Structure 1
């Protein structure tokens, strides 16, 4: 258990030092990301046949790799998919919208980020309820261009927040960080190199 806490603390520190996270959705993004200075990468594509190779390439480039497990083709939404990711890819963690998957990741010692789409007040209310029952290491809130909402989420939760989605310029980054987000995640490659 102590090893898991130490890993979590190290990754939280890494996120604190990494205001922009590269989120990759294709091979082009992977290649560009490898040549960036960004240390943390969210993998938003792949399948059960190539996800291990994607992670391996990123690890060789010295990146911390978090896989959005819900987006990997061929994996089920069951908890066993987390065990597969841990044993086969050696990724540092996962992202998921599913509470059972987040719980399993925590049991497996993987860093767990729970993703929320804030589309209405009901979604906003479920964030606190779900984080208190599942205890993810971090939460990712989409869209990330809602500073007032991000600020409210940060005030009502102890769990560190990542703002993602629709972030396209320095103003978006600064607004999300000023609202309390620890980091932002984006597939927009121009933002990676700002």
Structure 2
């Protein structure tokens, strides 16, 4: 069960009031029903809070008096805590590689581009040139299995769902020609505790 109220919870995940780069960790925590404090920073408050965080960036995880930054490091920590990192060292490496491959695409999205025409052009180029290669790679990797790695769900499957949700806002139907990956979206989304999180989380475009 997740929790956004302050209290004696072991994990405090700090991020903006959006899905963004903290949502993978939230997915993992929701799936494993690990309680955490979902601390959301409003944009108006960020300038005054920014200097107090490592590298002046979010997300940040506070645990046992330690501040951990970098979104994938935080998510990997939770994946291991939740038993979603992979069932062997090789599976862990495979899941890591898939997560990094998905993350490479999200990092290319020109979020900070202010020229809207140029931003659209860059996004179109990403979806027309890069995304087909990524989808082909993932579809071939998945083959006829239920999950991307081994015989059980890992954080790579969860990150595909996170990325799919974001990319669907930018290019609806972008994965419609990838039946295995589309089925994986349905499979992940039907996990009861994750479905509850998705239904109850604060609404945001990204």
TM-score (norm 1): 0.31
Which structure has the greater CA radius of gyration?
Answer: 2
Question: Which structure has the higher relative contact order (CA within 8 Å, separation 6+)?
Answer: 2
Give 1 or 2: higher strand fraction: 1
Give 1 or 2: higher helix fraction: 2
